[in-house]
Amino acid sequence: MHENYINGEWVGAGEVNRNLNPSDTRDVVGEYARGDDAQARQAIDAASDALETWATWTSEARADALDRIGDRILADKERLGELLAREEGKALAESIGEVTRAGRVFKFFAGEAIRFGGEFLPSVRPGVSVEVSREPVGVVGIITPWNFPIAIPAWKIAPALAYGNSVVFKPADLVPGCAWALASIVDEVGGLPKGVFNLVMGPGSKVGNALVTSPKVDAITFTGSSDTGRRIAAECAVRGAKFQLEMGGKNPLVVLDDADLELAVSTAINGAFFSTGQRCTSSSRLIVEKGIHDRFVERMREATQALTVGNALHPDTQIGPVASQAQLDQDLSYIEAAKRAGCRLEAGGERLSLETPGYYLTPALFSQTRNDMPINREEVFGPVATVIEADDYEHALALANDTVYGLSSGICTQSLARATHFKRHSSAGMVMVNLPTAGVDYHVPFGGRKGSSHGPREQGSYAKEFFTNVKTSYTLAQGV
Ligand code: NDP
């Protein structure tokens, strides 16, 4: 059994989680410990006790540790990518890409551990000077979803450690494999003091809840659904813990009449369906100006039907299976509801039986949809995209912004004026021009607005806003 990692030791648990391959449900990826709240509390105590020793490490020593972890992830990217594809169902090439990103994130934050600084300012009072410095927050609880099983943990764990915090990491119950592999790399090559990094696999209702409610956990960084995020926010607010939430999206891609049709189609296909549509940044609403609408729908239908759905490990597969039976049921129920509501199914939306038994679904494209329909209001989190016709640019912009979410948005146009206006007026936290709404760099801030996010941005040097506390110190110089 793959065990939890607490205070530098591998520790078993009473319950076992059998991790199944969504491309072939006969294939058991491995057996993993399913911890509980008592184990989470042990890990929290270990993380709390480790803070003092950790504080004696120089920034250079922390940087070296993160750099070694990043190097090892990159050296192992084929093996880890295969594990990711096997447990989550993401097509192999994309899985290896995700692992590469995780390695790069650790190396980026190795540099940040040394680079980040403070400020030294003159005071408004004579003889006084002011320092603004940053200190670790303390024990950070890290709660992650199943759809990016190594990249999201990396972009939370690496900055937490870089800025001197200790960590208790709780991955999604559906994908313990990548989390365990990451913990084993931290154990083998990181050389961190005992208790600085802890992994507790187990259900959100027990392990996650213990992290959120413990007075010894100073901050919670969470990525997942809006419902869970709201509950975590309420708990943290009551006990005064710092929290950061990245949640759902209903991301619009606007296609204007002057767009390059082929570029718009490939941008929409990538944004809507790659990673089986299971990305918080997926282009789930395609908002298309009426002059190009019919041609766009026709080309999208052809391109959607041409996608190869299959076993995530097969090199020809473009779209892997849906990650779980529960997610598949959710996707199918949204597809049925959209059909009942009168949307036209242009392509896909069908359950597929392949050589290996898995949760295969052909990507679904709907046209003749309205922005007020549930399929356009609620996050499906699967390979399902809709087309909404817009009268003109102003109408398209209004539709794009008419959502409770605000994670990512995009526009396909050859007009610099329109692109510039859209970047300024989109209500999303990330805006793409002639690029898919999904797919971002690791050295710049990531995050949304409105119902998609809460708290400081993740990634890049902006990560320090969450993972450090600011201190302002005043000094009156004497004897000078
Ligand atoms: P969930 O909210 O169900 O789960 C996310 C994590 O929270 C899991 O580790 C889960 O544990 C844990 N959890 C569940 N209940 C609690 C609780 N009461 N207390 C503490 N932790 C808890 O989301 P999914 O895993 O289903 O992920 C899909 C969602 O994530 C989508 O809505 C998607 O949009 C969003 N997402 C957002 C991103 C962003 O950056 N904005 C990026 C990626 C995904 P367990 O596994 O045991 O349930």
Tens-place pLDDT, residues 118-140: 999 999 999 999 999 999 999 99
Whose CA is closest to atom 18 on ligand 1? Answer: 205
In this prediction, residues 344-359 reach a mean pLDDT of: 98
Whose CA is closest to atom 12 on ligand 1? Answer: 204
Q: What is the mean pLDDT of the chain?
A: 97
Q: Is residue 480 part of a domain?
A: no
Distance, CA of 407 to CA of 396 (rounded, Å): 17
Whose CA is closest to atom 13 on ligand 1? Answer: 204
In this prediction, residues 268-277 reach a mean pLDDT of: 98
Q: Is residue 443 part of a domain?
A: no
Task: Please tell me whether residues 302 and 328 are part of one structural domain.
Answer: yes
Task: Please tell me whether residues 28 and 144 are part of one structural domain.
Answer: yes
Q: Is residue 27 part of a domain?
A: yes
151 burial level (CB within 10 Å; 0-12, 13-18, 19+) = buried
Task: Please tell me whether residues 241 and 138 are part of one structural domain.
Answer: yes
Q: Is residue 379 part of a domain?
A: yes
Q: What is the CATH number of the domain that holds 419?
A: 3.40.309.10
Residue 116 has pLDDT above 90, yes or no: no
Task: Please tell me whether residues 335 and 204 are part of one structural domain.
Answer: no
Q: Is residue 442 part of a domain?
A: no
Residue 431 has pLDDT above 70, yes or no: yes
What integer pLDDT is reported at residue 135 of this predicted model?
96
Q: What is the CATH number of the domain that holds 90?
A: 3.40.605.10
Whose CA is closest to atom 30 on ligand 1? Answer: 224
Rounded to the nearest angstrom, the distance between the alpha carbon of 245 and the centre of ligand 1 is 10
Sequence-distant (6+) residues with CB within 8 A of 54 are: 136, 164, 166, 192, 193, 196
Rounded to the nearest angstrom, the distance between the alpha carbon of 360 and the centre of ligand 1 is 22
Domain that holds residue 287: 251-433
- Say what percent of the chain tops pLDDT 90: 98
Report pLDDT digits (tens) over 310-331: 999 999 999 999 999 999 999 9
Q: How many helices (H) and strands (E) does the chain have?
A: 15, 22
In this prediction, residues 170-179 reach a mean pLDDT of: 98
What integer pLDDT is reported at residue 461 of this predicted model?
95
In a mutational test of the pocket of ligand 1, which residue from 4, 101, 143 has the highest number of ligand atoms less than 8 Å from its CB? 143
Task: Please tell me whether residues 331 and 262 are part of one structural domain.
Answer: yes
Q: At what angle do helices 77-88 and 92-115 cross, to 10 degrees?
A: 120
Distance, CA of 224 to CA of 246 (rounded, Å): 7
Q: Is residue 440 part of a domain?
A: no
478: pLDDT confidence band, cut at 50, 70 and 90? confident
Three state DSSP letters for 176-235: HHHHHHHHHHHHHHHCCCCCCEEECCCCHHHHHHHHHHCCCCCEEEEECCHHHHHHHHHH
Task: Please tell me whether residues 311 and 210 are part of one structural domain.
Answer: no
Residue 479 has pLDDT above 80, yes or no: no
Task: Please tell me whether residues 315 and 168 are part of one structural domain.
Answer: no
Report pLDDT digits (tens) over 19-58: 999 999 999 999 999 999 999 999 999 999 999 999 999 9
Q: Is residue 334 part of a domain?
A: yes
What integer pLDDT is reported at residue 480 of this predicted model?
67
**pTM of the entire predicted model:** 0.97
122 burial level (CB within 10 Å; 0-12, 13-18, 19+) = exposed
What integer pLDDT is reported at residue 414 of this predicted model?
98
In a mutational test of the pocket of ligand 1, which residue from 223, 235, 276, 329 has the highest number of ligand atoms less than 8 Å from its CB? 223
For 49, the enclosing helix (H) or strand (E) is helix 37-55
Task: Please tell me whether residues 334 and 208 are part of one structural domain.
Answer: no
Who lines ligand 1 at CB under 6 A? 143-148, 170, 172-174, 203-205, 208-209, 212, 223-225, 228, 231-232, 246-249, 280, 379, 381, 407, 452
In this prediction, residues 182-195 reach a mean pLDDT of: 96
Total domains in the fold of the chain: 2
Task: Please tell me whether residues 285 and 321 are part of one structural domain.
Answer: yes
Q: Which phi and psi angles does 169 have, rounded to 5°?
A: -105, 120
What integer pLDDT is reported at residue 277 of this predicted model?
98
* Angle (CA) 419 272 384, round 5°: 135
348 burial level (CB within 10 Å; 0-12, 13-18, 19+) = buried
Rounded to the nearest angstrom, the distance between the alpha carbon of 70 and the centre of ligand 1 is 25
Task: Please tell me whether residues 177 and 312 are part of one structural domain.
Answer: no
Whose CA is closest to atom 23 on ligand 1? Answer: 224
Q: Is residue 37 part of a domain?
A: yes
Task: Please tell me whether residues 268 and 136 are part of one structural domain.
Answer: no
Task: Please tell me whether residues 171 and 258 are part of one structural domain.
Answer: no
What integer pLDDT is reported at residue 163 of this predicted model?
97
- Give the active site residues: 246
Residue 195 has pLDDT above 70, yes or no: yes
117: pLDDT confidence band, cut at 50, 70 and 90? confident
